[in-house]
A and B are shown apart, each in its own frame.
Chain A
Amino acid sequence: MQPVIDARAVTKRYGKVEALSGLDLVIESGTIAAVLGPNGAGKTTLVRIVATLLSFDSGTVHVAGHDVTHQPHAVRRLIGLAGQSAAVEPAMTGRENLRMVGRLYGLTASEARRRADAVLERLSLADAGDRPVKTYSGGMRRRLDLGASLVGAPRLLLLDEPTTGLDPGSRIELWDTIRDLAASGTDVLLTTQYLDEADRLAAHVAIVDRGRVIAEGTPGELKARAGADRVEVHLRDEDDLVSAAAALTRVSGHEPAVDRGARRCSVSVERGTVVLGELARALDDAGVVVQDLTLRRPTLDEVFLSMTGRPAPELALASPRPAR
C-alpha cells in the first residue's frame, strides 16, 4: 500500500538556521505516527511542509502519492490540520465555525450543517455548539479546533503538538478522541515533546533531532534499541544482599549494582523475560526473601539519551499526570 506520507531527504533553511537537514520519513497508512523531539528539532517545520504551508529547499514530499509542491490542491483535499493554537473564530459559535470550514472544504450548505452537527456531537461539544467560542475554555477551543480539521473527513490528520498547554483531564480526552479517529480509518501524524504521549498514543514513533530522524520504530523497538532491559530485585532483609547479588551475577553474567540503603540490586540483562524466570528460581534456591522483582524496559527519555548521546533538556520527560 502507498505510504500516506513519504518524505525524502528534505532540507529547509531559514537564513542561517537549518531547520530540516535531510529528513527522511515514511509513514504507512493505518497508524497513529508520532514525531517526537525537543523544541527546535524541526517538528513544526515538517508539519507545515506536509500541510503545503511551507516550501522547502530540496528533497521530495508526497502525501498519499501527491506531490506537495506540484499538486498542493490535491494534498489539501486529503488533509486536516490542527496547529498549536486554536485557529477558530472567537466571535462565532462552535457550530458556525465548523459549518464555515465545511463549506470551504466544498460541502453544500446542508452537508456542512449535518457534518458540523456530527462533529460537535462526536467531540462532546453539542451543548456548547451555539455559544460564541470566546466563552469556551482552553480545552474546549482546542477540541473545536480539532473538530474543524475533521469537518472535511480528511484522510490524514496533522496535529502539531495537540495537547501542549492542556490540563491533564483535557489531554486524556483528546488522546481518546485521537485513538477513536484512528480506529475509524483516519491516518494521524502528530508531533509531541512528551515522551509518554508518543509512547501511549503512537504505533510508529520517529525521534527527530536537529532536523533529521535519528531513530524510528514502534515504541517497543525504540526501547529495545536503547539497550538492554534491567532487572531489579528489592529485598526484605539487608543481609540477603550478598547472596542476591551472587544470584544476579550467575544468571546475567554481569556485576550487579547494589544499593545497600534501599536493599536493592539491579543488573542489565539481554533477554529479560527469559532471565526473569531463571533469576526467580536462583533467588529461591539461595533462600532469599524477595519483596519485589521487576523487569524494566528503558524509557523513551533513555532512548533519546542513547541516540543523541546527550540528555533532552527541553524535552518534557512526562506530561502532567492526570488526577486519578
Chain B
Amino acid sequence: MSTVSLEHTTVPPGRGASFAVATAQTASRTLRQFLRTPQLVVVSTATGILFLLIFRYVFGGAVAHLGGVSYVDFVVPGFVTTGVLFTGMGAASGVAEDVQSGFVDRLRSLPIARSSLVAGRMVADAGLLAWGLVVTTAAGFAVGFRLHGSVAGGAAALGLCLLYGLAFDALFVTSGLYAGSAQAAQGTSFLVFPLSFVSSAYVPVSTMPSWMQPVARWQPMTAMVDSVRILADGPATARTLGHPLHEYLLLSLAWCAVLLVVFVPLAAARFRSS
C-alpha cells in the first residue's frame, strides 16, 4: 500500500451532483454498458431484422388485400414502430440487475436527486431506441420499403416512434424495479408479444376474429403503428385504415401521456424508498 494522502482536507464534504450532472453521469454509465456489451444491442437488433425477413418473405405472399398498399410498405412501418417494444424490453432486466447487484443501493446512498436515476436510465434508453430505429428503418428500405409520404412526415414518424419507445420504457423500467430479479423482469415479454401481435402492425385488424378486433383497435400499439403508417405511406393509406391521421395521433399521444404519468412517478417512488 502506498502513502497517497486521503485526508479529509483534500476535498470538501460532498456537495452532491445537480440533477443534470447526475442524469448525465448515470446515462453515460448505461450507454457505456450498451456499447461495451455488444450482445445486449446486437441480439435485439438481429432478432428484429430476422422477424422482418420472415414477415416480408415468408408470410408476405399470403397477405393480399391491403387496399392498394403493397405488403412491404404496410408491414415495415409496423415493424419499425413495434421495434421500440423489443428494443426497450431489455431495460426491465437491466434495471432489475442493477437492483440485485446493489448498484441501485450505491446510487441511492449518494447525495443526488433520486429522480435523476429514472431520468438517466431513460436518456440512455433513448439512445438505444434511436439506434434501433435507424437500423430497422434501414433494414426496411433494404427489403423494398419506399416512403410514399413526405420526407418531413417520415422524420416525424421516427420522432413519434422515439416518443412511443420512451413511454413504454417508463413501464419497463418500473417493472424492472419491482420485479426483484432479472429473470422475473423478463416476464415483460408476456406483455410485449400480445401488444405487438394483437395490433395492426403485421396484419390489418379487420382480418382478426371479431372478438379480438376491439382489443386490437384500442390498445396503444395500433394507434401508434397507424400514425406512423399514414405518415410513411401517405394520406391515401388513411382511407384504407378507416380513420384520419389526427385521430390515430391523438389516441397514440393520449396513451403516451397515460404511460408516462403512471410509470415515471412509480419508478421514481421505487428509487426513493424500497
Contact residue among B15, B29, B108 (Cβ-Cβ distance under 8 Å from A92):
B29
Residue A122 contacts which of B6, B16, B29 (CB distance < 8 angstroms)?
B6
Contact check, B106 vs A148: say whether CB atoms are below 8 A apart. yes
Q: Are B2 and A84 in contact, CB atoms less than 8 angstroms apart?
A: no
Docked complex Cα distance between A48 and B14 (Å): 20
Q: Which of B7, B14, B22, B32 contacts A185 (CB 8 A)?
A: B7
Nearest residue (CB) in A for B109 is: A81
CB contacts under 8 Å to A, within B83-134, are: 101-103, 105-112
Q: Is the beta-carbon distance between B1 and A77 smaller than 8 angstroms?
A: no
Give the nearest-CB partner of A103 in chain B.
B25
Contact of A104 among B4, B5, B25 (CB under 8 A): B25
Q: Which residues of B contact A186 (CB under 8 A)?
A: 8
Write out the residue numbers on chain A whose beta carbons fall within 8 Å of the beta carbon of B111. Answer: 73, 76-77, 104-106
Residue A37 at the chain B interface, CB threshold 8 Å: no
A-B contact count (CB 8 A): 131
Given contacts A119-B6, A121-B2, A132-B36, contact A77 B102 (CB under 8 A): no
> Contacts A76-B109, A87-B102, A89-B29: A176 and B11 contacting too (C-beta < 8 A)?
no
Least Cβ distance of A257 to chain B in Å? Answer: 46
Interface contact A153-B11, CB-CB below 8 Å: yes
**Distance in angstroms between the alpha carbons of A104 and B16 in the assembled complex:** 6
Query: Are A51 and B109 also in contact (CB < 8 A) when A103-B17, A155-B8, A180-B1 are?
Result: yes
- What residues of chain A lie closer than 8 Å to B21, measured between beta carbons? 103-104, 106
Can you name the residue of chain A whose Cβ is closest to the Cβ of B22? A104
Residue of B nearest to A153 (CB): B11
**Interface contact A91-B1, CB-CB below 8 Å:** no
Q: Which chain B residues border A103 with CB–CB below 8 Å?
A: 17, 21, 25
* Size class of the contact patch on chain B: 35 or more
In the complex the two chains form, is B105's CB within 8 Å of A53's CB?
yes
Cβ contact within 8 Å between B6 and A184: yes
A106's partner among B17, B33, B103 (CB-CB below 8 A) is B17
Bound Cα distance from A274 to B101, whole angstroms: 53
- Using a Cβ–Cβ cut-off of 8 Å, how many residues does chain A contribute to the interface with B? 53
Interface presence of A107 (CB below 8 A): yes
Give B106 Cβ to nearest chain A Cβ, in Å: 4
Question: Which residues of A are found within 8 Å of B6, using beta-carbon distances?
Answer: 118-119, 122, 150, 153, 181, 184
Among A55, A78, A176, contact of B1 (Cβ-Cβ < 8 Å)? A176
Q: Is B274 an interface residue (CB 8 A)?
A: yes
Please, which residue of chain B has its CB at the minimum distance from the CB of A78? B13
Interchain CA distance A101-B21 in the complex, whole Å: 11
Question: With an 8 A cutoff between CB atoms, is B273 at the interface?
Answer: yes
A52 touches B109 (CB 8 A): yes
The answer on a CB contact under 8 Å between A107 and B11 is: yes
Say yes or no: B4 contacts A105, CB within 8 Å.
no
Whole-angstrom distance between the Cβ of A235 and the nearest chain B Cβ: 46
Contacts of B102 in A (CB 8 A): 83-87
Contact pattern, A 104-121, Cβ under 8 Å of B = 1, otherwise 0: 111100010001001101
B105: chain A residues within 8 A (beta carbon): 48, 51, 53, 81, 83, 87
B207 contacts across to A, CB distance below 8 A: none
Among the listed B4, B37, B274, which residue makes an inter-chain contact with A53, where contact means beta carbons less than 8 Å apart?
B274
Q: Is A299 an interface residue (CB 8 A)?
A: no
B210 in the interface, Cβ–Cβ < 8 Å?
no
- A87 pairs with B103, CB closer than 8 A: yes
- Whether, in the assembled complex, A54 has its beta carbon less than 8 Å from a beta carbon of chain B, the answer is yes
Q: Please provide the chain B residues from 1 to 60 with a CB less than 8 Å away from any CB of chain A in the complex.
A: 1-2, 4-8, 10-11, 13-17, 21-22, 25-26, 28-29, 32-33, 36-37
Task: Report the separation of the CA atoms of residues A186 and B32 in the bound assembly, to the nearest whole angstrom.
Answer: 32
Which residue from A76, A100, A111 sits with its C-beta under 8 Å from B29? A100
Partner of A121, one of B4, B13, B17: B4
Give the CA-CA distance A115 to B32 in the complex, in Å: 22
Q: Which B residue sits closest to A85, measured CB to CB?
A: B102
Contact indicator A105/B14 (Cβ below 8 Å): yes
Q: Is the CB of A54 within 8 A of B25?
A: no
Min Cβ gap A39→B in Å is 17
In the complex, A184→B101 CA distance in Å? 30
In B208-235, the 8 Å CB interface with A consists of none
In Å, the complex CA distance between A73 and B113 comes to 9
Most chain A CB within 10 A, of B21, B101, B102, B274, is at B102
Residues of B within 8 A of A89 (CB): 29, 32-33, 103
Pair A153/B37 contact, Cβ less than 8 Å: no
Docked complex Cα distance between A80 and B2 (Å):
22
Tell me whether B16 and A124 are in contact (CB under 8 A): no
| Interface residue from B1, B11, B17 paired with A124 (Cβ < 8 Å) | B1
Choose among A48, A76, A111 the residue with the greatest number of B CB atoms under 10 Å from its CB. Answer: A76
Tell me whether A76 and B110 are in contact (CB under 8 A).
yes
Q: Can you offer 28 A-B residue contacts whose CB atoms are under 8 A? A: A48-B105, A51-B109, A54-B273, A54-B274, A73-B16, A77-B13, A78-B13, A84-B102, A86-B101, A89-B33, A104-B16, A104-B17, A104-B22, A104-B110, A104-B111, A105-B17, A107-B11, A107-B14, A115-B11, A124-B2, A132-B36, A148-B106, A152-B11, A153-B10, A153-B13, A180-B1, A184-B7, A185-B7
Nearest 4 A-B pairs (CB), nearest first? A106-B15, A105-B14, A87-B102, A87-B106
Q: A77-B111, A121-B4, A124-B2 are in contact. List 5 more A-B contacts (CB 8 A).
A: A80-B109, A81-B105, A83-B102, A89-B103, A155-B8
